[in-house]
Structure 1
Amino acid sequence: MEYISLLMFVVVCAVLLLGFPVAYSLAGTALIFAGVGVMTGGFESAYLHALPSRLYGIVTNQTLIAVPLFVFMGVVLEKSKVAENLLNAMTQLFGQYRGGLAISVILVGALLAASTGIVGATVVTMGLLSLPTMLKQGYAPSFATGSICATGTLGQIIPPSIALVLLGDVLSSAYQKAQLNMGIFSPESVSVGDLFVGAIVPGMILVSLYLLYVVMVTWFQPHKVPKVAPQASNVSIPQLLNALLPPLVLIFLVLGAILGGFATPTEAAGVGATGALVLALIQKQLSLTKLKEVMLNTTKVTSMVFLILIGASIFSLVFRGYGGEELIEQLFNSLPGGVFTAVLLVMVVIFVLGFILDFIEITFVVVPLVAPVLLAMGIDPIWLGIMIAVNLQTSFLTPPFGFALFYLRGVAPKSVKTTDIYKGVLPFIAIQIMLLIAMAKWPNLVTWLPENLYG
């Protein structure tokens, strides 16, 4: 009956392509297949009896409390003009150099990624604030839009990232399952904090490669970049500090608490949410109306995440009931090349699915199916999590369905063609693929810092 699990996966992808809501598509497809299986005797109803306890485990998962708190922090910062102040200060600081505004966009985007961790909010904010100015100053539309889209996706990999929070929870369950399947009873697990630490070096490398690409464009394709911003001027130290200190202090409080072992990611998320409110209050950007908007947006995003998680949990349970996990294990073990081929296949599948699915669906549907098998093959869970995160980040940029492209297209001027956006992101996709290859070749890029920080 294993082939039914594959059929179920194909059907749910087809239903999603028809435009039905993700959570309902996952749960509905799974329950229909389970119902037919129970009536025909091909599916054990005991799996459905385990469903209430699994759903209860989701809603009582303390790690996932970090999701609404990080979303709340990001939305507050989005509405408190932190990005606008940062961009103005950075533009004045680097605007006197060729390509200075593009450099400013990347640096500000990296800081926003470390502050908010929300890709859509970063892309839209940077698109509204910087794209009109870049076009006015003579930047090539493809170069300007590519820089903004790529920078916006840094929120996937630079901690604190919502994607890493969700991946950490999924990989923790997968690691424990892999240990049990191997007959190992160990209290060790994979924490969100481990993924945060493992993502720091790859995130810094990615930002550095983006900056290097901008510098190379200014040297070898100067027609894409204006010489000097007309209104560039030296920024005063107080103005620069006023723009930089608020997000840097918040980043230090959140990540410092996690890296120093003073707080769990969930507790640090509470600190971040409170700190964002304090910053908004100090900058006089907090009102009752804005607070209501923040709470409403946070509730919407959190509800979407948890509803998808519930639907994906139902799907994975029925998939397991039809023997899908055994089928995947047999497939991976029979592949020539062993672990390398198995990881490569998973990375390719995730990359392709990223064309049509959001990172949340992939994290909740695909990762729980393949991660236990890969971890049982001896793969480091932190390395696997960061590889998946960077891969998902790449899928955000890939034409024609990359979500970051749609976000920017929605706020870009009509003079910017969609083909310009597609052309602009191609070099950044190549950079991210280079990072994936580098992490595959040298896993220490991911594992060195967690091993030395925590021993």
Structure 2
Amino acid sequence: MSPEIMTVAMFASLIVAITFGHPLAYTLAAVATLFGLIDNGWNVPALFDMFANNTYGLMENYVLVAIPLFILMAQLLDRSKVSDELFESLYVVLGGLKGGLGLAVVVVCTVFAATTGIVGASVVAMGLLATPALMKKNYQMEMSAGVICAAGTLGILIPPSIMMVVYGGLTGMKETSVGNLFAAAILPGLLLSGLYFAYILIRCNINPKLGPPISKEEASKYSTAKKIMMTLKSLIPPMALILAVMGTILAGVATPTEAAALGAFGALILAVVSRKFSWQVMKESAYATMSTTAMVMMLFVGGKFFSTVFLSMGGGDVVADVLIGSGLNRYVVLIIMMAIVFVMGMFIDWAAILLVTVPIFMPIAMELEFNPLWFSMLMCVNLQTSFLTPPFGYALFYFKGVAPEGYTIGHVYRGILPFVFLQVLGLAILFFFPSIVTYLPELFFGPS
């Protein structure tokens, strides 16, 4: 069977299997096994050897040790209620503005993103904490859902990010090391946060009914000095943790794995200081870390099987020949690759998309002489949309699962549409201004 037919059949089989709702990790591995056997003439021992070598290689990757450590940090922070105190102080500080509570959600999620790196934790925490306050102040339901879902997805982009750790482990390139990716993601993450902030502020000033301010009486209960003290008190602990983790990486003092261990220890200290620590909290955090890490690593193994078989049977060459050999301008080829990732994000988990597309697209990007770090960041920002785009955006279901009675999936879908547009706008800005991505890595680590 020709590589062209095998390529089409393999992707078609994956899409069909996913639509039946089978677990993604096992679906990737099963499709890889079937087509690996077809490609090698049903030589089971040879395929088993290939899979065993790939799995062992994954488990030897030191960078991936950062994944359970960052997840543990996120779990401990979630239970220490750092975000609760920050939202309560920003509720007072920003609540007097039109759309002020929505702005507070964006700020809290931005800070929370830089301490957790997990979308589910951010969306669920803010859904439980902020939605009742937004409803009480008569915020439009679509606006409330859109703000919480969109701002919550910043956790997958703003470092320390699990996605960056996975991406860096996949490529194994110096230019796209985890440290470089972390530095490159800071400004794009803040850009998206700024776009959300500006949209809420402008939209709610045009139509105050979407996000009315809190009453003047409520706002006047606190003096300016007290507002400043409340904000500093709630902001200093997470900012200290961010500085400890990101500062050591960017200063070259620690590797991402070592910084992840420091972050987990720092989160434990914050939980103790905030008097939220107990052995039950530790037990729950450790169990959640174990189950989440197992899920991520199973996806990693299944995705690695899929990409290895796909490349070994010539699928990567087929895709490269179609895109590069088409004679299209290299930027048109880039837009096509981004469009493929965007559409896949509507149906498939971000980890699976990374594991399937990076081994195929990265060689094409290198062949077209794109900056690998810039290309990688376009991929990662694009993948952030996978949490918001219907029908299978995970952030939408996280929010719906904790939203108060009265919220329908229709409210959620309508609410996220402007924010998906803002994410695409942010991607376009990075496309036209690559220095937003490359400035900080060059500043901290020198030109690649």
Decide: shared fold, TM above 0.5.
yes
Cα distance in structure 1, aligned partners of 2:311 and 2:436: 34
Q: Which residues of 2 match residues 82-231 of structure 1 at below 5 A?
A: 82-172=82-172, 175=173, 188-229=174-215, 231=218
Does the aligned pair in 2 maintain the 1:47–1:318 contact within 8 Å?
no
CA drift at 1:281 = 0.7
Cα distance in structure 2, aligned partners of 1:450 and 1:337: 31
Q: Which residues of 2 match residues 399-410 of structure 1 at below 5 A?
A: 399-410=390-401
Moved more, 156-165 or 335-344: 335-344
Cα distance in structure 2, aligned partners of 1:253 and 1:381: 28
SS of match in other structure, 1:366: helix
Does the aligned pair in 1 maintain the 2:26–2:302 contact within 8 Å?
yes
Give the TM-score taking structure 1 as reference length.
0.93
CA change 1:375–1:45 in 2 (3 A) is farther
Cα distance in structure 2, aligned partners of 1:281 and 1:96: 33
Does the aligned pair in 1 maintain the 2:95–2:213 contact within 8 Å?
no
2:26 alignment counterpart: 24
Give the counterpart letter for 1:195 in structure 2: L
Q: Which residues of 2 match residues 253-268 of structure 1 at below 5 A?
A: 253-268=244-259
Which of 360, 365, 368 in structure 1 is aligned with 2:359?
368
Does the aligned pair in 1 maintain the 2:101–2:213 contact within 8 Å?
no
User: Structure 1, unaligned stretches of length 5 or more?
Assistant: 176-187
1:68 alignment counterpart: 68
2:40 alignment counterpart: 38
2:242 alignment counterpart: 251
CA drift at 1:203 = 1.3
Q: Which residues of 2 match residues 295-374 of structure 1 at below 5 A?
A: 295-374=286-365
Does the aligned pair in 2 maintain the 1:8–1:29 contact within 8 Å?
yes
1:57 alignment counterpart: 57
Moved more, 149-158 or 374-383: 374-383
Give the counterpart letter for 1:82 in structure 2: V
Cα distance in structure 2, aligned partners of 1:92 and 1:157: 28
Give the counterpart letter for 1:131 in structure 2: T
1:383 alignment counterpart: 374
Does the aligned pair in 1 maintain the 2:36–2:47 contact within 8 Å?
no
CA drift at 1:171 = 2.7
CA drift at 1:401 = 2.1
CA drift at 1:48 = 5.0
Does the aligned pair in 2 maintain the 1:192–1:265 contact within 8 Å?
yes
Post-superposition Cα deviations, 1:221-257, rounded to whole Å, max 9, x if no partner, equal 1121213256434244443222111101000100100
Cα distance in structure 1, aligned partners of 2:94 and 2:327: 51
Give the counterpart letter for 1:33 in structure 2: F
CA change 1:353–1:265 in 2 (3 A) is same
Give the counterpart letter for 2:134 in structure 1: M
SS of match in other structure, 1:328: helix
Does the aligned pair in 2 maintain the 1:141–1:416 contact within 8 Å?
yes
CA drift at 1:97 = 2.3
Cα distance in structure 2, aligned partners of 1:400 and 1:316: 25
Post-superposition Cα deviations, 1:353-398, rounded to whole Å, max 9, x if no partner, equal 1111111111112222221222232111111111111111112111
Cα distance in structure 2, aligned partners of 1:336 and 1:413: 53
Cα distance in structure 2, aligned partners of 1:215 and 1:309: 40
- How many residue pairs get aligned? The number is 439
Cα RMSD, aligned residues only? 1.7
Give the counterpart letter for 1:221 in structure 2: N
Moved more, 442-451 or 277-286: 442-451
2:267 alignment counterpart: 276
Moved more, 368-377 or 137-146: 368-377
CA drift at 1:205 = 1.4
1:184 alignment counterpart: none
CA drift at 1:98 = 2.2
CA drift at 1:443 = 1.0
SS of match in other structure, 1:50: helix
Give the counterpart letter for 1:133 in structure 2: A
Matched, 1:395 2:386: yes
SS of match in other structure, 1:269: helix
Give the counterpart letter for 1:345 in structure 2: I
Does the aligned pair in 1 maintain the 2:348–2:392 contact within 8 Å?
no
Moved more, 54-63 or 414-423: 414-423
Give the counterpart letter for 1:408 in structure 2: F
CA change 1:315–1:453 in 2 (3 A) is same
Does the aligned pair in 1 maintain the 2:92–2:227 contact within 8 Å?
no
Cα distance in structure 2, aligned partners of 1:406 and 1:108: 20
Which of 7, 11, 14 in structure 2 is aligned with 1:12?
14
1:185 alignment counterpart: none
Cα distance in structure 2, aligned partners of 1:134 and 1:324: 50
Matched, 1:449 2:440: yes
Instruction: Report % sequence identity.
Output: 38
Cα distance in structure 1, aligned partners of 2:373 and 2:325: 25
SS of match in other structure, 2:107: helix
CA drift at 1:417 = 2.5
Cα distance in structure 2, aligned partners of 1:274 and 1:12: 40
CA drift at 1:47 = 6.0
Give the TM-score taking structure 2 as reference length.
0.94
Cα distance in structure 2, aligned partners of 1:375 and 1:45: 34
Does the aligned pair in 2 maintain the 1:157–1:199 contact within 8 Å?
yes
Cα distance in structure 2, aligned partners of 1:288 and 1:193: 33
CA drift at 1:154 = 0.6
CA drift at 1:347 = 0.7
CA change 1:382–1:44 in 2 (3 A) is farther
